[in-house]
Amino acid sequence: MNKVPLTLRGAEKLREELTHLKTVVRPRITQAIAEARAHGDLKENAEYHAAREQQSFTEGRIKEIESKLANCQIIDVTKLNADGKVVFGATVELEDSETGDKVTYQIVGEDEADIKQGMISITSPIARALIGKREGEVAVVRAPGGVKEYDICAVRYV
């Protein structure tokens, strides 16, 4: 299995979520199941079935996070020496060649991507067009909405 890239911040968020699920959510669900069992007949006990379903989702998420952390390659962006190239983890300031609109994106792993926070997945069309380019170059993005050109204004590793 290939290692999935993950930024240091993304790995830390996953670890925090894992700790929260194991230390807060899991005990709360266990308590809810115990209380529902105390009510009697489990066949028609909606609280019991809801708690068991929540337990199933929580355990699935715990396994998913553990798997992701076990199969990831954590990249500390601040220690990269990419010589000005756009690489995984880089923060890139772009200007739309047509409209002049400026946007800033950080290229992150699929699990970290959040367009509202300016974090785009390494597998997105924009990120794929940017990888390997340098400040001052033009990136041509072939997206479902058509072809767009972006001028790369700045590349930072923060």
Residue 11 has pLDDT above 90, yes or no: yes
Supply 94's token pair: 């772009």
- Give the integer Cα–Cα distance in Å for 29 and 51: 6
- Residue ranges per structural domain of the chain: 4-75, 77-156
- Domain 77-156 sits in CATH 3.10.50.30: yes
* Residue type for position 40: G
**Is 153:76 a contact under the CB 8 Å cutoff?**
no
Query: pTM of the entire structure?
Result: 0.80
Q: Which two tokens stand for residue 117?
A: 């926070």
pLDDT in tens, 114-129: 999 999 999 999 999 9
Categorize the per-residue pLDDT at 1 as very low, low, confident or very high, splitting at 50, 70 and 90.
low
Fold of 4-75: Helix Hairpins (1.10.287)
Q: What is the pLDDT of residue 15?
A: 96
- pLDDT one-digit tens code per residue, 74-116: 998 888 877 889 999 999 999 998 898 999 999 999 889 999 9
